[in-house]
Amino acid sequence: MIKFDHPPDGERSVFSSGARMSGQHLRWLLRRWTPSHLFYRARLPFRRRLRSKRRETFCAPFAKRDDAQPTTGPALVFGEFSGMHGLGRAAAYDVGMLEGRHSSVHTIDISSHLNGEQSRLPELHGPFENVYLFCQPDTYDTVFRLLNPNDVRRAYRVARWVWETPKFPNEWRFAERLVHEVWTPSAFCAEMFRKSLDLPVSVRPHRVSEPPETRIDIRRRLGVPREAFMGLAVMDIQSCPARKNPWAHVHAWQEAFGDDAAAILVFKIRANKRTKIVLDELQELIGDASNIRLLCDDLDNMEIAALHRAADVYLSLHRSEGFGLNINEALLLGKPVIATNWSANTEYGPHFKSYRGVPFRLVPYNDWLCQYPDGSFCWAEADVKRAASHLRDVRVCFNRSSCLSSDETQASIK
């Protein structure tokens, strides 16, 4: 049965009156629940079962040998290393974990294959002793199409998984027969995996480093004045906008600064055909204000680094995170970070002086896209008023710092 969603609190809180809430809520419902979307939701369970069955059937010949053991010999690593998302950047970071463990490490980028492109791979000479899957189980049929079962029959396989909710995805259950152990970047993930899997699970945080220096003048490119207080939020809403909660980000910035043109939020966001509707909703919330900029262009890693370095504060009012790569990168740069104080980011965030956790309450999962079919869990609803208070506090520090810098410059001139 399809359940029509009410707007989560992060969306509901943007309305200033009951009448406006009713009118906007109705418009959003009509936009979301089109006949096309109803048809999509009706077919979704059947399509998921079909994809899962096909993936499980294809991967069955690659079942692991229980007597396989890890060696110090060569290692083969599969990942979305050139993917334009956090999983790809995380995989690139994590290859460093294997340095010193193996005599050689060979990386295979599966990004183009997932996109349906047939790029040429380096010749793979099996059999292999160690295989690392730095990608999610829903890509395993793509990975194993590049191999012969005999090539990896005796290989020791390590999976690198991250998941955003407290509920194990049943669609991944088949992978338990394919891998010998699981590495995951947070205790938040590990707790859920250990409850659900009969496999060793190790917590191994991503080897994140601060974004590199770059000559890209991203403020100039985006038209953000150098003296402006610049906030940054980076999110991919192609699968589940409700988890990233972009509406709360807009509301918090408006609550903190109204339409003050000297306080600009750059909202780097990736959407697809199905989730583009969220961009329309955000634009409706923003209205004529010019101090929230939606940036929908695909950016490479250096451009993302330039955004981080140009920002004065990073904002993440997510409902759940399996790790929070952008949060960690901003903290490593010493940037103030205001983030929902729940899930994986609470494991490293408080170790940084610039981290400000936002109080929350747990609410039932609700998502009109039904990203998580195993949806009987709760996640966090950040207090946007407290987030706005944190934003104002950070700006006061920014203004004080700017004044000090100006005074120092004048003194040096004299």
User: Under a CB-based contact definition with an 8 Å cutoff, are residues 70 and 154 in contact?
Assistant: no
From 14-18, 247-251, 338-342, the region with the lowest mean pLDDT: 14-18
Cα-Cα-Cα-Cα torsion 189, 116, 143, 187, nearest 10 degrees, comes to: -10
The amino acid sitting at 195 is K
More confident residue, 4 or 284: 284
The pLDDT tens digits for 134-174 are 999 999 999 998 888 999 999 999 999 999 999 999 999 99
pLDDT exceeds 70 at position 6: no
pLDDT exceeds 50 at position 213: yes
pLDDT at 12: 47
| Residue 164, phi then psi, degrees to nearest 5 | -95, -10
Model confidence at 113, in pLDDT bands (50, 70, 90)? confident
pLDDT exceeds 70 at position 11: no
pLDDT at 53: 96
From 35-39, 80-84, 228-232, 389-393, the region with the lowest mean pLDDT: 80-84
The pLDDT tens digits for 61-99 are 999 999 999 999 999 999 998 877 788 889 989 998 998
**Which residues, 6 or more positions from 319, have their beta carbon under 8 angstroms from its beta carbon?**
8, 10, 242, 243, 244, 245, 340, 379, 380, 381, 382
Question: Which sign does the torsion angle of CA 353, 358, 359, 364 carry?
Answer: negative
d(CA 339, CA 317): 5
User: Under a CB-based contact definition with an 8 Å cutoff, are residues 308 and 333 in contact?
Assistant: yes
User: Domains of the chain (ranges plus CATH)?
Assistant: 52-203 (3.40.50), 210-407 (3.40.50.2000)
If one counts every other C-beta atom within 10 angstroms of the C-beta of residue 345, the result is: 28
pLDDT at 402: 63
The pLDDT tens digits for 239-276 are 999 999 999 999 999 999 999 999 999 999 999 999 99
Q: Is 311 helix (H, G, I), strand (E, B) or coil?
A: coil
pLDDT at 122: 58
The pLDDT tens digits for 175-208 are 999 999 999 999 999 999 999 999 999 999 999 9
More confident residue, 409 or 310: 310
pLDDT at 264: 98
pLDDT at 121: 57
Model confidence at 400, in pLDDT bands (50, 70, 90)? confident
